[in-house]
Structure formats: structure tokens, C-alpha cells
Chains A and B, each alone.
Chain A
Amino acid sequence: MADSFSNVIELPPDPLFGLKARFNLDKRADKVDLGIGAYRDNNGKPWILPAVKLAEEKLINDPNNNHEYLSISGFEPFLNNAAKVLLGSDSNQLSKVISQQSLSGTGALHLAGVFIKQFYKGNHTIYLSKPTWANHKQIFEYIGFKVENYPYWNNETKSLDLDGFLNSIKSAPNNSVFLLHACAHNPTGLDPTKNQWDLILKELEKKQHLIIFDSAYQGFASGDLEKDAYPIRKAINEEIISSPIIICQSFAKNVGMYGERVGAIHIIPSTKENNEAFNKAVKTQLNRIIRSEISNPPAYGSKIVATILQDSKLYDQWRKDLVTMSSRIIKMRKTLRSKLEELKTPGTWNHITDQTGMFSFTGLTPEMVARLEKSHGIYLVSSGRASVAGLNDNNVDKVAKAIDEVVKYYSKSKL
């Protein structure tokens, strides 16, 4: 007994967590944090969306508000409106969607994995983009999936490796599982064009693969909810995909609900047949899984999001807030690129503005990233992924000059 847990091995800390710890210890006044995965305003401060503050006031002043348990499925007004955000309020698929509230994006992906593992007869290999968000692999490995990669980012051209992507769709066994980033690909920030999406979806349909969309940045990428939902709406509303589709939706970024853990999993049944009993069974099984993991989902965040989505004034405010966030990030991309081009930093930098969302895959090497940290107090993960949200008018000049210095330093040393 005394050594119940002496067999438990201590693990190294999460790399991102280590980065944050080093950043916090750094005493340089002009240090810059480009590791964070959360939005910052032009003063480098976290930002609660004005729409959220208004919704919170409304909720707290509502005499009927309470802290009772939600149903196992979650808060119905939240679920209905969240599906509308994804598919559009005029989608003819809305009546068929099976929705379950989840602990934000991770919770939704976990639930999708557990559900597929228990009931899907196809190939239990999941294909993830290379590279992808670090947690994707852990989420599915934890549940017992075999994890494979499909080519995505071409480091030479700093663009999409479409042929590689399509080839893996073709060569994967029929009925495999493919995880697609709906928009603002994490970590590269690079999304397929509409034409490229059309090709990708067509191939996926041919091979009858099961699609999971990870929708973590809708509206955050372009400021436009519709534009950022292109592949989802194409696949579902235009019935390009005949198999059931699973969407994992998070309001962490686009409503700034990060720590409130607000998300949902939506399952769109097969278009081939309308099977009421199947839909009902799916819903009860999702409930059963939730019941034995968390009983029922957290109420507060979902009530805030539902309040925003149901009140036309708050909804309009939210649309404005999305533009505020996305346009600031787009402006920072443009500024950084033009400064690097002015400095004649070796290489091409158009990819910074071609990419969307929170991150830019800069193409900087691990040694350049290390030098940025050591010599300039600029912190990003060693893959070269920079959080554009960490840039602002006060630090973008410094960051451009520092990148210029490290790129030139290593270009010279190579010569």
C-alpha cells in the first residue's frame, strides 16, 4: 500500500506549458509571446467580447436564471442555434441534426472518437493532417484508434500539398476516418481553396470515408461565418457526402469562451436514407457516454452563447466582434509581411498573408526559433508556428527585425 503509486512515472511538462513558463521568467521588458493560442487585443491583453459582457449582464439579471443541472444533451436553445451557425439558418438539414453539448472542442472530438470506436464498422484508422494540432493525436490514441497522417503542408513551397492529400484519400482503405480542419488550419493557418475543397470532398465520397470536421475557428478566420463554413456547408447542404458526417464545434475562439468550455458534437445522418430510429438511437448513446463521463455538461457558457445567438442585437454585436478580431489579425499579417519584404529578409513571405486564423506557420527552423527566444525575447514553438494574435502595433516592428536578423544569421552561416 505504501507504494500504491510508486510505479507511476513522472512525465515531462507539455512543451507549450514549458514555453509559457520560460516566457514568464524572462525579465526583458520588450519580450513577445507568440506561443499563446488565445486572442489578444492591440495592447496585448486578453479580450472578453462586448457581446459576451452584454449577454452576461442579461443572464445575471434574469430572475428565472438558476444553476440547475442541464439535461444530459445540454442546453437545447444552445444546441439548436449552434447547428444554425454551422449550417446556416436556411439549411434543409437542420431538422435531421443530432446534437450533444460537449466540453468545447476537445470534449467533442473525444466523444466523436468514443462513439465511432463503439459503433462504426469501418476502418478504425484515423487520418490526421501533417502537421496538426498536437492534441488530435493524443485524443484518438487514447481511445484506441490507429493514427495515420495525410500530407498537407509542403514546406518547400509553403503551400498545400494537394496531390499528396488526394493520394492518401485514394490509398486509404475504404471507410476510413478522416479528420478535416473546417477552416484556419492549426498550426499552419493554410486552408484549401474552394476548388481544392471540392476535389477533396469528391475523393472522400468516392472512398466512402467517414468525415469528422473540426470547426474551432468559424468566423474567427475571415470574420464571415458563411465563408469559414464552406467545406461543411458544401458537404452537407449540397449533399456531396452521402455517409453520416460528424462535426466538432467549439466556441472557444469565435466567442472567446475558452475556459468556459462551450462546444458541441453534431452528427448529420446519411443522406441516403432517412432513418428516424437510427437518429434516436445515436442520440441516446451519446447521452449514455456523457452520463458515465460527466453526467451533464457545464451550463453557464452554453447559456451565454445561446443568449447571443437568440437576441438579434447581441448577435449583430457578435458579428462585429468577429470582424474586430479577424481584421486586427489580418492587419498584423499584412504589416509583418510588408516589413519583412522591406527589410529584404531572405525567402518569400506571402504565405503569412495567405494563411488565416490564429496562427502562422512561418517556416522558421527550430534553430532560428531558439535564437529568436535567446537573443530577442520572442517566444514561439519550435515548429515555427507563431500566434499572430500575439502581434500588435507596439511589437510588430521589433518582431520583423528580429526575424530578419535570425534568418540572415543562419543564411550567412550556411554560405
Chain B
Amino acid sequence: MYKSQLIKQTQKQYIQSTRFLSSTCQLLKWNEIPLAPPDKILGITEAYINDSNSKKINLGVGAYRDNQGKPIIFPSVKRAEEILLQKENEKEYTPIIGSKKFQNIVKNFIFNNSGKDANGEQLIKDNRIVTSQTISGTGSLRVIADFLNRFYSNKKILVPKPTWANHVAVFKDAGLDPEFYNYYETSINDLDFENLKKSLINAPNESVVLLHACCHNPTGMDLTSEQWDEVLQIIQDKKFFPLVDMAYQGFASGKPYEDIYLIRKLTKKANENEIPTFALCQSFAKNMGLYGERTGSISIITANSNDSKAVESQLKKLIRPIYSSPPIHGSKIVEIIFEEPGLKDQWLNDLNKVVGRLNTVRSKLYEKLDKSNYNWDHLLKQRGMFVYTGLTPEQVIRLRNEFSVYATEDGRFSISGINDNNVEYLANAINEVIKK
């Protein structure tokens, strides 16, 4: 009870302060500055922190926790930092779009799949990929949105329903016009592939279309290889510009090289000029645990090397007045991990362990859930950091109020908050709220 009151109180304060402002701001020569609504996920974390129940569980966080519920530094990252501390002898600015070394690592790792994608290799050889380091995933989405707003023929950007909440905010703020396409159907807890195709076909030609490369956020439900083929055919026919968001490479299988068949298909289509241009936003936030270091990239695949030169020069012009150059700590760690003998294998191993734990916990939760009057099979189809439970907002609020289990009201649970010590408690709580 207390907790839902708390939320109401905050809303009341928000309304009061907004009113208060309109009268005084005149004097201050400022337009009315309304209190911006607090971020939903952060609000949940705050309520979680203030809860005194020792059994409380936070399923709101988008960062990995180990089996003791603690944040970790990947051992490979820790090692890279030790090496960096020893050998770093300057902290100079990188070029506006990051160091050449970082750009090449990203290109080779993602598009050439470290030597396993001949199409990607060809695109790199033909100078058809422009890569810039960015302020992690959000920064790369923002840069490409600004870029498309300036240079692309169409402002319409199609995003899956549902999608990560910040996608819409970023695109709108950059002047694009986001519109949902069907993706997931809550009533069946499954992908709605027929309507997905239909809504894409009905959208205007040459729209931008946002695709989650894998581990769709928030549903965890990805397209199969065959389904991607169908979608890419629509994209090709409709002359869409694909914008791929890849925040969770490696989180599906634990193996970054095996996860991303969408990229393999796109490099092939680009190389054969069927879908000649696309863009890819990528971050090392999750798969290297570099969250707060803000390490990611934007890559734009162009039709030819002349376009690449022009695109690169315009990217620089765009970034220079926003933040001049990207932060170096995270990108230097990435460079060391890819360069230092043995370290990359260690990283792949670290990542595999992280994903392994998530998958283990996922099946443990499934095991303990009461399936007698509720079908939980979708849990096993979903992949990545989250389970999209399909619980109603009312059920989520009951979990919060009666069991101190904190999650967003869309029913998205961050699996990393689950461990051997609390999985039973959580399953029992869920079983309780779904009882008719």
C-alpha cells in the first residue's frame, strides 16, 4: 500500500511544482520549465533501495549481476585495465570519430565476423563501411538519427511495438518521426509475425526501419533465420533503410560469432547491392560489461567509397559541435582485449559464463513456475537479459506491494536480478499473483 502511495505522492508534487513555476518564471525571463517526468526504471530502483524487506528483489536493472546479486567486472576487462595502467603514457584526444585502431577492430569483429564473413570483408575492402566510436548505444542512435534527419529522404522511422523506451525519445528529439510496426502479441506471448509483415508492407516506401539484431528489448523474442529472410525481402522491395540496433551481441548463445545471422544476411545483401546501404548501432556496454564507460560505435554502410568519404566528413561535422571526441577509457580497454594475446579468448569465455548463468536461471525459474493454469513456454523461447512475462500491470504491482519484487509495469523482468538464493521465492510470488 505504502509504495503505491509513494508514487502518487511524487505525481502530486510534480503537478504542484509545475503550477508554482508558471507564476514565478515570468520574473526569471525563462519559459515555464516543467519538471520532466522521472525515468521509470530509475524510479523502481529508488523504491527498491528504500524497501526494508530482506527478501526484496530488483528485476528492473539492465546490468548483469552475479549469483550473489553483485555487479562484476569481466576478468578480461580487469586484466586489460591493469595493462592499460602500466603502459598508458598519454590521455590525448582521439580524432572526432575515435581512433583508427578502434574503428578497424569494430569493422573486423562485426562485419567480417573476425575473418568468417567474406561479404563483410569485401565491404571493408571496398571502403563501403564508415565507422565512428560513439557514446555507447544511445550516442550511436542519436548520431545516426541526426545524420538521417539531415541527409535521408524520409523522416519516418518504423520501430517494433514494443521497443526500448528510449528509442522513441531519441528519434523524436532528433527530429525523426517514429511509428510502430507490429512485433509482439501479448495475448499469446509470442511474436506476431503475420501482422509484423503486414504493417511493414503497409508503411511508406523508403522509411527507415529499426531492427533489433538479437535479444529484442524488452520481449527477448527474436526472428528466426527464415523470418529474417522474409523481412529483408520486404525491406528490399519497399526500399527501406535498415537501422540495426545491436546492444546484446553474444547474449543469445553466449557466442558473439554465432548470434548475429541478421548481420551475415545484411552484408550479403549489401555486397550484392540488393540492400546497398544500412546502418548499425553497437555497444560494448553489455557484452563487455563496460556500461558506464560509454563505449560503442555507429557504422554506416554506403553504396561506394566516394559516398563513404562524404559520409565520414559529415559525421565529423555533426559530432564536433556536440562533444568533440569520444571518451577513451572504454575504447582503450576494447583495443587491448582485441590486441593482447589470449585476452580476446578470455573475454569470449567471460561472456559465455555470463550468458550461461542467465540461461540457467531462466530454466530454473521456468521449472519452479506453476504451469497448471498458465502457459510459461514463452520463457524458454526468449533470449538475452530479459524475460517478458506477460504479467499484467496489476500483477506487477501486486508483486511489488506484497512481495517486494520490483519490475517495470510492462512485465519485463531483468533475469540478472535472479539467482539461486531468490529464484524459489520469486517463483512462489509469481505463482501467487497469477492464481485466479
Residues of A within 8 A of B (CB): 1-14, 17, 38, 45-46, 48, 52, 56-57, 60, 65-72, 103-107, 110, 118-122, 135, 138-139, 141-143, 175, 208, 210, 243-244, 256-261, 270, 272-273, 275, 277-278, 280-282, 284-285, 287-288, 291-301
Classify the secondary structure of A's interface with B.
Answer: loop
Do the beta carbons of B42 and A272 come within 8 Å of each other?
no
Candidates B88, B306, B322, B330; contact of A107 at CB < 8 Å: B322
Do the beta carbons of B322 and A259 come within 8 Å of each other?
no
Closest chain B residue to A66, Cβ basis:
B71
Do the beta carbons of B39 and A104 come within 8 Å of each other?
no
In the complex, which residues of chain B have a beta carbon less than 8 angstroms from the beta carbon of A282?
A: 33
Q: List 12 A-B contacts (CB under 8 A).
A: A10-B306, A66-B71, A103-B327, A106-B320, A120-B31, A122-B29, A260-B91, A261-B323, A277-B24, A280-B35, A285-B33, A292-B172
Knowing that A5-B300, A67-B289, A259-B91 are A-B contacts, what are 12 other residue pairs whose CB atoms are under 8 Å apart, sorted by A's residue number? A4-B276, A5-B151, A8-B314, A46-B90, A67-B293, A69-B63, A72-B42, A105-B324, A277-B21, A293-B170, A294-B142, A295-B138
Do the beta carbons of A298 and B135 come within 8 Å of each other?
yes
Do the beta carbons of B329 and A275 come within 8 Å of each other?
no
Of B77-85, B103-111, B350-358, B373-381, the one with at least 4 CB within 8 A of chain A: B77-85
In the complex, which residues of chain B have a beta carbon less than 8 angstroms from the beta carbon of A48?
A: 88-91
Expressed in whole angstroms, the minimum distance between the Cβ of B284 and any Cβ of chain A is 10
In the complex, which residues of chain B have a beta carbon less than 8 angstroms from the beta carbon of A121?
A: 29-31
Do the beta carbons of B91 and A297 come within 8 Å of each other?
no
**A272–B28 Cα gap in the complex (Å)?**
9
Given contacts A280-B17, A292-B173, contact A71 B139 (CB under 8 A): no
Do the beta carbons of B330 and A300 come within 8 Å of each other?
yes
Expressed in whole angstroms, the minimum distance between the Cβ of A297 and any Cβ of chain B is 7
**A306–B323 Cα gap in the complex (Å)?**
21
How many interface residues does B have (CB within 8 Å)? 86
In the complex, which residues of chain A have a beta carbon less than 8 angstroms from the beta carbon of B239?
A: 1
In the complex, which residues of chain B have a beta carbon less than 8 angstroms from the beta carbon of A141?
A: 321
**A119–B29 Cα gap in the complex (Å)?**
9
Do the beta carbons of A103 and B310 come within 8 Å of each other?
no
Expressed in whole angstroms, the minimum distance between the Cβ of A9 and any Cβ of chain B is 6
In the complex, which residues of chain A have a beta carbon less than 8 angstroms from the beta carbon of B316?
A: 11, 14
Candidates B292, B324, B328; contact of A135 at CB < 8 Å: B324
Expressed in whole angstroms, the minimum distance between the Cβ of A173 and any Cβ of chain B is 13
Do the beta carbons of B321 and A67 come within 8 Å of each other?
no
Please tell me if B401 contacts chain A, counting CB pairs below 8 Å: no
In the complex, which residues of chain B have a beta carbon less than 8 angstroms from the beta carbon of A138?
A: 320-321
Do the beta carbons of B241 and A1 come within 8 Å of each other?
yes
In the complex, which residues of chain B have a beta carbon less than 8 angstroms from the beta carbon of A105?
A: 324
